[in-house]
Every structure is written in C-alpha cells, then in structure tokens.
Homo-oligomer: A and B are copies of this chain.
Amino acid sequence: MSSSEKVSVGIVGASGYGGMQLVRLLSDHPQVELTYLGGNSSAGKPYAELYPHVGHRIKMIVEPIDLDVIASRCQVVFLGLPNGLACDLAPQLIERGCKVLDLSADYRFKDLDTYQAWYKTERTDQDTNAIAVYGLPELYRDDIRRAQLVGCPGCYVTASLLALAPLFKQGLIQPETAIIDAKSGTSGGGRQGKINLLLAEADASLGAYGVASHRHTPEIEQICSKLASQDIRVQFTPHLIPMPRGILATVYATLRDPGLVRDDLLTIYSAFYRAAPCVEVLPNGVYPQTKWACGTNLCYLGIEVDHRTGRVIVMSAIDNLLKGQSGQAVQCMNIMLGWEETAGLPQLAFYP
C-alpha cells in the first residue's frame, strides 16, 4: 500500500477516553482518513459537544451504529466499547471485509472458558475468536501483520507483560514468584461519574483495589504461561493513584541464578526489545517516571537486581491511554497495514 493513498478508518465507541485518544491520534495520522464516529448514547451529537476542545479540528457527528454504513465507509474499524459488545459486532464487520481492532477484553482470550468465567458473558463467536490475534506487538508482531482481527491488551496487562516477558521467555525466574504491584492514574476508570473517581475523593489519596481478584490477572497469566511453556500464576495488585494518566508496574521475581547482576539483565532486556521501537530500556540506575511516557506510545523499563534477596525488580511505565490502550491499537494497525510501526504515534512526552 503506497503511503500516498489514505486508508479510511472508523471508530465505534468514540465517547470514552479511549475513543477520544483514537480520534486525536487518527486525525493526526499521516496515512489515515477518519471517516466514521459511532456510538449509542451520543448518536446524533456533534463530537465537539462531548469534547469541546477538539471543535476546531473535528467537525464530525457521532452516528448510530449501522454495520453496513460502517463497512461501506471504513477499511479499518476500531471498537472502543464496554466488554461484551465487540463480540457481537466484530464477526459481522469481518464478514463485510473490514479489518477490526478491538480495545475491549473480548478478543484477548484464546480460551473462552476463562473469558466467560471472569467476564460473566456468554460467547457464541468461537470461530471469530479463533482468528483473533493478541495485540501486543512486542510479542506478536508477525501474527498482527497477518491479522484481520486484533484484540488489544489494556493498560495494566501491557505494562506488566512488557516487564515480565523476557524473564518468563528466557526462564530467568522462579515461576511462582512473580508479583506485580501496579499503580494507575484514574482515567483508567473511564469517563463515568463514579464517586471514588471524583477529584475530591481520589486526589491526595491512594489505595489498592481488586486485591487477589482483578480480572486482568488471568490475561497476564495466559500470556506468561505461553512464554514460559508452563502454567504460571502471578500476584497482581492494582492501585488507584491521584493523577489522571499513567501506569507504573513494579514487578518482583526471584532469579533462578542468584549470580545474575543488573548489567546482565540490562543486556538481556536490550536484546529482547532491540527491534521494538516502542520500548525503551533505561540505563543503569535510572528508574522510570510515568510522566516520561505520558503523551507517547512508549514503555520505559527500569531494571534492578537486589543481591541481598536474589530478586529482580522491573519497573515499567506507560501512558495508560496510549501504549496502554489507543496508541497500542494504532501501533497494531500500522503493522497490519505494513506501515512504519510508529506512524502517527508521538515519541516525546508531554512533560512536565
């Protein structure tokens, strides 16, 4: 595909933060023409009514979700809907010839039983699910290149997996020792009026939630198990942090070989991510700040080894709405369409 002809792209579910980031990224993307914005609750409204600050650039109206209309206007469709809705739409869009990138949990699980157990949703789209590719380019770039349907992982999982992948893939850690202490800005909770997400409640405070029960756990385990070629259980604890954006995952695991030092790990990580333009392994003794990643599609990794305890500690920082959501989906689209992997994706943070 020549870069001179633009690809028509639509977004179903454009009203949330994920959708809004997609609108922003895609309207600035040099090879994309944004041709459709769809939604249920906001159908008929100018998009600028939802987000007044984009009014000078985005003149589009949110349209009702009509599959024929979408397919007639879009070569590529992003789905930014709540869990359990994409599995209805995706099969029909694929049938109509669209390439589909889903931001929900619906196409992240090879094993639909696991999905159904954690998400309490019946699924009847086994065939479609079977062709879905897991949208983490750093691990599945080749599969994504050939995919028609990509289920993009979310923020916690992306930060966690990019920290853990080299360790599990290369058998460097004792498999049952991985602990992920994750910290997220509040936009991860979505654009909805929940009391605990109010500034008056969430600001100047900090707490854990979903301890020992968060449903991102099985998703992380699914991929780690594949990487390790054995069943893996991880400890995953999310925390809500008083900031709008950004995730830090602090990952702990016990090294199999207590003789490994930090330099060894840095070498291993740098090699593992050599071809990954969206992962930055930080030099010796530098630990990432989430703010370094915010506004970009990058994952910053900082690595430390504690010779007193025999553990490796990996810190992984991303923008939860970009590399942890919409940016990652755009990265996947770039790969699917044979474009530069980072096309349209900012590389330098909104900082300070």
Q: Closest CB-CB distance, A22 to chain B, in whole Å? A: 12
**B206–A289 contact, CB under 8 A?**
yes
How distant is the Cα of A28 from the Cα of B295 in the complex, in angstroms?
Answer: 14
Q: Taking the complex as formed, is A328 at the interface, i.e. its CB lies under 8 A from any CB of chain B?
A: no
Q: Given B54, B211, B294, which contacts A313 in the complex, CB threshold below 8 Å?
A: B211
List A228-271 residues whose CB lies under 8 Å from chain B: 233-235, 237, 239, 241-246, 248, 250, 252
Q: Closest CB-CB distance, A188 to chain B, in whole Å? A: 9
How distant is the Cα of A233 from the Cα of B17 in the complex, in angstroms?
Answer: 42
Chain A positions 302 through 318: 1 when the CB is less than 8 Å from some CB of chain B, otherwise 0: 10111111010101010
- Residues of B with C-beta under 8 A to A57: 347-348
Q: How many copies does the complex hold?
A: 4
CB-nearest residue of chain B relative to A195? B193
A52-B282, A308-B233, A313-B211 known; A243-B352 Cβ under 8 A: no
Q: Taking the complex as formed, is A27 at the interface, i.e. its CB lies under 8 A from any CB of chain B?
A: yes
- Residues of B with C-beta under 8 A to A206: 183, 241, 243, 246, 248, 289-291, 317
Q: Taking the complex as formed, is A24 at the interface, i.e. its CB lies under 8 A from any CB of chain B?
A: yes
How distant is the Cα of A300 from the Cα of B233 in the complex, in angstroms?
Answer: 29
**A348–B28 contact, CB under 8 A?**
yes
List A268-286 residues whose CB lies under 8 Å from chain B: 280, 282-283, 286
**A289–B205 contact, CB under 8 A?**
yes
A53-B351, A242-B242 known; A208-B315 Cβ under 8 A: yes
**A205–B243 contact, CB under 8 A?**
yes
How distant is the Cα of A311 from the Cα of B201 in the complex, in angstroms?
Answer: 30
A54-B348, A204-B246 known; A191-B195 Cβ under 8 A: yes
Q: Taking the complex as formed, is A59 at the interface, i.e. its CB lies under 8 A from any CB of chain B?
A: no
- Residues of B with C-beta under 8 A to A237: 250, 252, 313
CB-nearest residue of chain B relative to A21? B351
Q: Taking the complex as formed, is A194 at the interface, i.e. its CB lies under 8 A from any CB of chain B?
A: yes
Sort A-B residue pairs by CB-CB distance and give the 3 closest, nearest first: A193-B193, A53-B292, A205-B291
Beyond contacts A200-B352, A204-B244, A205-B291: 17 other A-B pairs, Cβ-Cβ < 8 A, are A56-B347, A179-B252, A183-B239, A186-B199, A186-B200, A200-B245, A203-B204, A204-B243, A207-B289, A208-B315, A211-B304, A211-B313, A212-B313, A235-B306, A237-B250, A241-B241, A242-B243
